[in-house]
Structure 1
Amino acid sequence: MTIDDRKTLAKQPITWTGDLSDDCTAKWAGLMLRAEWMDEDYWWWAVYDMQKEEATIDDSNNYTDRFIGGDISRQKAENVAKKYITEITARQETAKYLIADTFKITGRGLVFAGYITEGLVSIGDTIEFVALSTIFKRRIIGIEGITKSQPDKNNTGLLIKCDSEAEIDELRNWKPDNVVATVYKTEMSEKNLAATNSTLPKAGRTWLQKLFGYE
């Protein structure tokens, strides 16, 4: 399904099927929305991208507040779905990046090792990838190696800004199996870009040099 296909399908209303008082589903613009009554008035909801191996975009487990009632849960799922489609159809994609491996630099964060299959990667770009059945969108805050396409050779390391140490550890233990991520431009001020360190620290460079065969 292309981006243009999604734009066309997104013009249609979101229609729920199933039992609206218990367990219901909606399919819309390549997404699947679900809402289910759990106990008392508490409802669970989730939104999946069916074009990305049913990866989770968002769900009620990511929120501390409970969603009371089916109407509120379905509305939240619809809002998440509409926001997601708006973002992916409007963004400026600049590159594809194959993730071959991950490692952690203490005090700095998570690093992806791999190569750019097409396009150009810059600091401040956002990288979107599917890991652990979930869609992640994270900022690129450092680059080491080649910044433009040179396929079939691990030659680019990306330092990724994660939400927490727990997330870093979780993704460090993830086996990417050469998953291809999408890189795109987002709004980031020149001030923030200037304040971002553009290279990896020495420990990271040493690891990448060994991996890539640098001297």
Structure 2
Amino acid sequence: MSTPDGGFAVCVYCASSDGVAPHYLELADAVGRGIAARGWTLVSGGGKRSMMGAVAGGARAGGGWTVGIIPRSMVEREWADTDADELVVTESMRERKERMEDRADAFLTLPGGIGTCEELFEVWTAGTLDLHTKPLVLLDPDGHWTGLLDWVAGLTARGFAGPGPMQRLSVVTGVTAALDACAPAAVTRG
């Protein structure tokens, strides 16, 4: 059960490091508010900093339910979003990611760094291998992920991947389009 009432939950991957431009914090806040406006639950990495904190704060400001999942080592560093409606503390990053994946009905990736990229690749690969059918959405309003997407397209051109990975990922530039792509009707099979 993702929410107290078993409703739809979206896992958002995004930056948790300080120093990102203010427009990224505004984007994260808008995503959180949009999730709440649809009556969905936010599942996040449980941090209070940067975009991760902004998406959770936006969801709560909009009246949404937030689930933060964070490793104990990050709680000990005082990085935890202690305002989360539900804060799940794990023993490892691997357990954290597994719990986030289990709690989510869709995955939405915002701009971020290497950790965000790693989280995206894990669920993207699993989706491409038909290990799950949950929507995979990349919100890229300003070309943050262009280099990565070009690289993956190059893998296909060089025969290292078929067309499946690019077909499996929805790439959008706006918050509404991202949430529409996450919506329960957007779930594809196979």
Greater share of residues in helix: 2
TM-score (normalised: structure 2): 0.27
**More contact order relative to length (CA 8 Å, sep ≥ 6):** 2
Greater share of residues in strand: 1
Structure whose CA Rg is larger: 1
TM-score (normalised: structure 1): 0.25
